[in-house]
């Protein structure tokens, strides 16, 4: 079954034209790409502490989530095995630290683990992380959670993660708990949509100034992405189609304004230097494009994901390591770059 599906996906990839170009030749079926990219990522996994070498704490949450999705697509148990070990090695601190966005990344990864395994301990952990994040909400700037416990910056990413985790938990719980998560999701989106962080181009600037205005800082791809997943789940909860319109606008802005001339996603920092956090961002956008497509299917999203996957695989090195520049050339290898690119390959498979 997998071999047949791989052949079909490979044929689809061969047939789909890139933006403004003739159809490129896919180097291998999608299943082979994901198999090799996931195995390469796993070389960075450290079983002793349940993290991925060469990355920061939050990157490991995203790397694990990419491996979980790859395992679901491939029908193997590697991702769930890594999730179980990571849980066991780190449950002593309940995956908490000083940064609310870090907690949000782990919360969403444990939701993914729960979905794939049915093990309730992962959902309990995700709920615990959400409760801690909710403690970061106050009325400075009218609402929203802070970036960290220091309470010195209100910005986009922790609030997008708060929205996404609230909506995800509302869909996976019932009774008063589900109602509580739904209300938090609604409250968060109402606040976020009125902060001014979404600029006139439909791009999300990084955060707010001390006097609660758009700070005009970098429009990162992951700030265009996480909110898509949150809005998709909030639509499932409410049926409010204005949420889909907002998500579609954000997705289109990223695909048109944060991509190169060939329609391949490009992080703003690539012109100079991207640090180990920023190398993670692009895969997060494409991953959340899948979530949006589930409630608002679009051939544009499929074409974008597949075009990017073709570019990613073409730009790999001889060891199937995937770099920062999805259009090439290959730069260096680490778990952040690899897992971000694996997110792209996974997404192309899911969308097609």
And the tokens for 212? 């609660």
Residue 9 has pLDDT above 70, yes or no: no
User: Is 31 inside a domain boundary?
Assistant: no
Q: What pTM did the predictor assign? A: 0.92
Residue 151 has pLDDT above 60, yes or no: yes
Confidence of residue 337 (pLDDT cuts 50, 70, 90): very high
163 and 230 share a domain? yes
Q: What is the pLDDT of residue 15?
A: 38
Q: Tens digits of per-residue pLDDT, 55-113?
A: 999 999 999 999 999 999 999 999 999 999 999 999 999 999 999 999 999 999 999 99
pLDDT cut 70: percent of the chain above it: 92
Q: What is the average per-residue pLDDT within 165-190?
A: 98
127 and 188 share a domain? no
User: Is 230 inside a domain boundary?
Assistant: yes
Q: Tens digits of per-residue pLDDT, 191-210?
A: 999 999 999 999 999 999 99
Q: What is the average per-residue pLDDT within 146-165?
A: 98
251 and 165 share a domain? yes
Residue 17 has pLDDT above 90, yes or no: no
Residue pair 134/104 in contact (Cβ under 8 Å)? The answer is no
The span from the CA of 169 to the CA of 266, in Å, is 31
User: Is 287 inside a domain boundary?
Assistant: no
Residue pair 158/100 in contact (Cβ under 8 Å)? The answer is yes
Q: Which of 258, 280, 305 is the last residue of a domain?
A: 258
Average pLDDT for the chain: 93
119 and 214 share a domain? no
Find, among 77, 198, 181, the residue nearest to 134 by Cα. 181
User: Is 21 inside a domain boundary?
Assistant: no
Q: What is the pLDDT of residue 30?
A: 86
Residue pair 276/59 in contact (Cβ under 8 Å)? The answer is yes
125 and 148 share a domain? no
Q: What is the pLDDT of residue 29?
A: 72
| Strand residues in the chain grouped as ranges (E) | 45-46, 51-52
User: Is 125 inside a domain boundary?
Assistant: yes
Q: Tens digits of per-residue pLDDT, 299-329?
A: 999 999 999 999 999 999 999 999 999 999 9
Long-range Cβ pairs for the range 157-160 (8 Å, 24+): 157/101, 157/104, 157/206, 157/222, 157/223, 157/226, 158/99, 158/100, 158/101, 158/104, 158/133, 159/188, 159/191, 159/192, 160/192, 160/223, 160/226, 160/227, 160/230
195 and 231 share a domain? yes
148 and 244 share a domain? yes
> Residue 102, preceding bond cis, omega within 30 degrees?
no
Residue 6 has pLDDT above 50, yes or no: no
108 and 75 share a domain? yes
130 and 146 share a domain? no
Residue 298 has pLDDT above 80, yes or no: yes
Q: What is the pLDDT of residue 3?
A: 42
Q: What is the average per-residue pLDDT within 261-283?
A: 97
Find, among 282, 296, 252, 297, the residue nearest to 346 by Cα. 282
Residue 164's domain comprises 142-258
Q: Which of 134, 153, 187 is the last residue of a domain?
A: 134
Residue 260 has pLDDT above 90, yes or no: yes
Q: What is the pLDDT of residue 12?
A: 40
User: Is 108 inside a domain boundary?
Assistant: yes
Q: How many domains does the chain have?
A: 2
206 and 112 share a domain? no
User: Is 235 inside a domain boundary?
Assistant: yes
Q: Which of 228, 258, 288 is the last residue of a domain?
A: 258
Q: What is the pLDDT of residue 352?
A: 81
150 and 222 share a domain? yes
User: Is 147 inside a domain boundary?
Assistant: yes
Phi and psi for 51 in degrees, rounded to 5? -120, 175
163 and 116 share a domain? no
């Amino acid at each position: 079954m997998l071999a047949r599906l791989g052949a079909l996906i490979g044929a689809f990839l061969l047939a789909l034209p890139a933006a403004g170009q003739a159809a490129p030749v896919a180097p291998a079926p999608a299943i082979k790409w994901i198999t090799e990219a996931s195995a390469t990522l796993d070389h960075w996994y450290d079983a002793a502490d349940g993290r991925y070498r060469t990355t920061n704490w939050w990157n490991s949450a995203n790397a694990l989530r990419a491996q979980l999705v790859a395992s679901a697509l491939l029908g193997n148990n590697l991702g769930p095995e890594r999730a179980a070990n990571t849980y066991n090695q780190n449950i002593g601190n309940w995956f908490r630290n000083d940064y609310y966005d870090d907690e949000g990344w782990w919360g969403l990864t444990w939701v993914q683990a729960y979905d794939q395994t049915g093990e309730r301990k992962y959902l309990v952990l995700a709920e615990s992380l959400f409760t801690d994040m909710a403690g970061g909400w106050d009325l400075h700037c009218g609402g929203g959670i802070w970036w960290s416990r220091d309470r010195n910056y209100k910005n986009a990413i922790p609030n997008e993660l708060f929205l996404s985790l609230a909506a995800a938990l509302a869909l996976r719980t019932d009774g008063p708990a589900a109602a509580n998560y739904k209300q938090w999701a609604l409250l968060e989106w109402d606040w976020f949509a009125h902060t001014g962080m979404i600029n006139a181009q439909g791009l999300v600037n990084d955060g707010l100034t001390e006097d609660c205005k758009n700070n005009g800082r970098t429009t990162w791809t992951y700030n265009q992405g996480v909110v898509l997943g949150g809005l998709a789940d909030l639509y499932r909860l409410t049926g409010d189609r204005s949420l889909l319109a907002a998500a579609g606008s954000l997705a289109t802005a990223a695909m048109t304004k944060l991509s190169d001339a060939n329609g391949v996603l490009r992080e703003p920092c690539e012109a100079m230097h991207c640090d180990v956090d920023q190398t993670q961002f692009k895969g997060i956008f494409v991953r959340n494009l899948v979530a949006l497509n589930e409630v608002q299917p679009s051939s544009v999203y499929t074409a974008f994901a597949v075009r990017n996957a073709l570019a990613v695989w073409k730009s790999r090195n001889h060891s199937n390591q995937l770099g920062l520049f999805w259009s090439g050339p290959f730069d260096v290898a680490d778990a952040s770059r690899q897992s971000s690119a694996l997110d792209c390959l996974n997404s192309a498979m899911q969308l097609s």
